[in-house]
Amino acid sequence: MSQASQPIGLFDSGIGGLSVAYAILRQLPSESILYFGDTARIPYGAKPADTIRQYSEDITRFLLAGGSKLIVVACNTASAAALNHLRHLWPDVPIVGMEPAVKPGALATRTGKVGVLATAGTFKSQRYASLMHRFAKDVELLENPCIGLVELIEAGKLNEPETEQLLRQAIGPMQSAGADTFVLGCTHYPFVQGLIEKIAGPGAAIINPAPAVARQVERLLRERGLLNEGTQPRHRFCISGKDEGGHFRKVAAALLGFEPELEENVLA
């Protein structure tokens, strides 16, 4: 296999990173994907940063052993805890991370108030603090960790009343405080973007960073001469747990347009 035809490796704590995989496949339909969802150890949000760094290191080794030519840390919490660590360990490997779209949110708001939906781990990170310092000096960020939302999405409850209630409890106070822009600071949250748009209303801006990540992946591959423009893409999807109830397959099929062959209990 030529280096160009090798896959793009992505990982997340569960299905959330599929929203990033979808954006990459739309941007780069000839590329192959090697995806790892750490479903046996989800959620990451409340875990210690050193634990998440170790998980991320182990998963990155797996993705590189699978031939990945570029790594996408398709998880905001893991990016906040481990991105610099991974880049230090593998300085010659292009590694792309996620971060809450604070800068686009600050540029989009008309009221000067931006709602940020992310995990507790992201909010507590130095990476998030740096974003606030650089880009949010002139706006107010209203934060909510949406506790329990990742678990609902992992269970396939994308349009259930309990999911809508949780989101209303998060978004309502932000709107009452004047927020007109909402940043999706967790890769799971685009799966309920329709609900968020319904709750926030037609005048609100909803910012999903996944398309920007896909453009960054394309730029890095092009710079290094690694774009796949010849061979047929082959995708591989792995999870560390069991796909109870087939939720991963169902959500992946609905989002990606095909049902992936899934390897379970990987790295268990």
| Distance between CA atoms of residues 220 and 65, nearest Å | 20
Domain 8-98+210-263 grouped into CATH 3.40.50.1860: yes
CA pseudo-torsion sign 112, 117, 123, 127: negative
- For the annotated catalytic residues, the residue numbers are 75, 186
* CA angle (47 as vertex; 10, 173 as ends), nearest 5: 90
All structural domains of the chain with their residue ranges: 8-98+210-263, 102-207
Mean pLDDT of all residues belonging to the chain: 93
User: What does the block give as tokens for 69?
Assistant: 């030519």
Half-sphere exposure of 143 (CA within 13 A, CB side): 18
Burial class (CB in 10 A: 0-12, 13-18, 19+), 73: buried
- What pLDDT, in 10s, does the model give residues 119-169? 888 898 888 899 898 988 899 999 999 999 999 998 888 899 999 999 999
pTM for this structure? Answer: 0.90
Q: In the prediction, which pLDDT does 230 show?
A: 76
Residues near 225 by beta carbon (within 8 Å), at least 6 away in sequence: 4
- What pLDDT, in 10s, does the model give residues 108-119? 999 999 999 998
CATH class as words, domain 102-207:
alpha beta
* pLDDT > 70: percent of the chain: 99
